[in-house]
């Protein structure tokens, strides 16, 4: 998860304007009040602990159809920011990277990614582009159908060259300090590191072997660490970006399903780990000592954190709930925003103004929640 500045979230809706290149936005879905999440702090985080105060703001979404798609679609990791105010949505079924322009609320679709039908948990699904990360003038897109990572130029939105890996891709993350793209490759029990020194042409660099299925990603720029989880062994790893060696590991506290996404508060050295029904906050400076827990509802996968605003954004797919919480200096969360989403909607991202985006895959639409800088 890249570190991004953010703002306080409001219940206001973002305006969606019609353009010739995009489908007009659908009618607002209306406010859905989710049950109040349970917030707990460990004894070490009790001072200045969580408080709901007057109650969290109720968030409301607008929806914008994904171009040329009808639900359900296969969507996983989104990306935002970069050179332009955009959200990048890889869509497996259409073999496309759908680029949402925040200023005009319109989509531009980049086609040309390969697709393939695969059996997943007993069901046939169309696989294709599934993850994106923003690099130095390029967006890098992981493709589960082909085990490729492809470069898309940000300025022209032109699909460039693709590098095929020896194992299927999952998440992708750009590490700016080393000009590298790190890929979680769980089937091979590894992190695959790609050389992006020539940003339009990725090259293989090395593989970092792990003791389990890698899941989730976060970059701590200040400390030069890359975080990932081992889903099958309920562990969180800190990997030194320069030496590519595992520097620390601790229990994620995600029982029984194992951890999913991970994020970092770089200023305060908090490591934030998503479980399937909650989020745990750990102290990275003290061997992963637990600080607090946020109950979010079931169906959590990847998470977003806005470092400057100290805001944690969590979308729970099974609960159809969006939770926004602020972390205090002891790592304890305070819920400041709640919103209803759609069943299966998960993996929210936010832009520099705190606006939140996630996909309702069943209805093939982007849900947007407005924020204020």
Assess if residue 173 is contained within a domain. Answer: yes
CATH code assigned at 109:
2.130.10.10
Assess if residue 2 is contained within a domain. Answer: no
Q: What is the DSSP letter of 285?
A: G
Domain count, the chain: 1
Question: What's the confidence (pLDDT) of residue 364?
Answer: 98
CA gap 95, 69 in Å, rounded: 10
Question: What's the confidence (pLDDT) of residue 97?
Answer: 98
Model-level pTM?
0.86
Range(s) of the domain holding residue 349 = 8-372
CB 96, CB 114: distance < 8 Å: no
Express each pLDDT in 234-283 by its tens digit. 999 999 999 999 999 999 999 999 999 999 999 999 999 999 999 999 99
- Extract the residue ranges of the chain whose pLDDT is less than 70: 1-54, 371-373
Assess if residue 1 is contained within a domain. Answer: no
Assess if residue 188 is contained within a domain. Answer: yes
Assess if residue 251 is contained within a domain. Answer: yes
Assess if residue 252 is contained within a domain. Answer: yes
Question: What's the confidence (pLDDT) of residue 55?
Answer: 83
CB 229, CB 184: distance < 8 Å: no
Helix (H, G, I), strand (E, B) or coil at 277: coil
| Region at 82 (left for phi over 0; alpha for psi -120 to 50; beta for the rest) | left
Assess if residue 215 is contained within a domain. Answer: yes
How many other C-beta atoms are found inside a 10 Å radius of the C-beta of residue 30?
A: 8
Question: What's the confidence (pLDDT) of residue 287?
Answer: 94
Assess if residue 193 is contained within a domain. Answer: yes
């Amino acid at each position: 998860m890249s570190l991004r500045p953010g703002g306080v979230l409001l219940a206001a809706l973002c305006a969606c304007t019609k353009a010739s290149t995009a489908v007009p936005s659908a009618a607002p879905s209306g406010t859905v009040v989710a049950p109040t999440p349970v917030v707990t702090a460990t004894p070490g985080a009790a001072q200045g602990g969580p408080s709901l105060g007057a109650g969290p703001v109720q968030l409301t979404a607008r929806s914008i159809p994904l171009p040329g798609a009808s639900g359900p679609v296969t969507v996983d990791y989104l990306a935002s920011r970069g050179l332009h105010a955009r959200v990048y949505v890889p869509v497996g079924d259409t073999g496309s990277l759908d680029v949402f322009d925040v200023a005009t609320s319109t989509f531009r679709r980049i086609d040309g990614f390969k697709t393939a039908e695969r059996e997943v948990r007993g069901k046939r699904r169309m696989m294709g582009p599934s993850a994106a990360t923003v690099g130095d003038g390029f967006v890098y897109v992981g493709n589960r159908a082909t085990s490729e990572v492809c470069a898309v130029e940000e300025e022209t939105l032109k699909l460039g060259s693709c590098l095929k890996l020896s194992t299927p891709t999952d998440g992708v993350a750009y590490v700016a300090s080393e000009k590298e793209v790190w890929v979680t490759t769980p089937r091979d029990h590894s992190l695959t590191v790609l050389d992006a020194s020539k940003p339009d042409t990725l090259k293989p660099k090395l593989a970092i072997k792990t003791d389990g299925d890698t899941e989730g990603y976060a970059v701590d720029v200040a400390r030069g660490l890359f975080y990932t989880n081992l889903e099958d062994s309920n562990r969180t790893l800190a990997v030194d970006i320069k030496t590519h060696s595992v520097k620390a590991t601790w229990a994620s506290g995600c029982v029984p399903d194992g951890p999913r996404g991970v994020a970092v508060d770089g200023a305060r050295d908090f490591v934030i780990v998503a479980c399937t029904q909650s989020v745990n906050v750990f102290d990275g400076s003290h061997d992963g000592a637990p600080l607090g827990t946020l109950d979010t509802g079931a169906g959590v996968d990847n998470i977003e954190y806005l470092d400057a605003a100290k805001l944690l954004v969590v979308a729970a797919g099974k609960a159809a709930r969006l939770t926004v919480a602020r972390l205090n200096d002891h790592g304890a969360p305070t819920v400041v925003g709640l919103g209803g989403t759609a069943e299966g909607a998960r993996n929210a991202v936010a832009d520099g103004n705190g606006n939140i985006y996630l996909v309702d895959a069943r209805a093939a639409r982007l849900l947007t929640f407005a924020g204020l800088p």
